[in-house]
Structure 1
């Protein structure tokens, strides 16, 4: 019986340790989503190499439609382009930004041609 309890405790401890390891890296990633003109947009910010990998994705856009996709970092334009939705209705824009003093704020704005602008923001402390 003592062996069974010790084995169970060891397995539980190992499982708890695994959970902590899996949950740790995910907490560094921040994502925000929204919808615009029938499409879903997402802003992802990941800590990388002393800065941030910033990803903007649009899914479910009309194939061939044009969108202005802009990413701002602390109020300044980091990148802005007009993109055309691919054959699956997807658009993608990525950039790397250095870490600044204090918190860093990223804003994604997406605007379909002839439509209204939609946006979301992420603040990383």
Structure 2
């Protein structure tokens, strides 16, 4: 489930990048990093060391040197997590009780949005 949540939040951040003020953009980036990418994160996603270091360096540069966060800062993580979703995580999630609960709740709120 953490892979899906990361992918959703990272895509939302990336797609809304130009619409956000710099401060809000940074807040959301740091939230995503702390929640999904940082060592010991509550909902840690499975990414490689090189990918982790790439994103960590962007964060360090932002915090220490006050450098702007580029819109592609999470691209390598998004790509890695999307690959996991396609190959493994999504199919396991769809067979889980959590997915059935989620779909049941969604059906009552948005019946036209359910997958076929």
Shorter-chain TM range is under 0.3
After TM superposition, the score normalised by the length of structure 1 is 0.24
The answer to which structure has the higher strand fraction is 1
Q: Which has the higher contact order (CA 8 A, sep 6+)?
A: 2
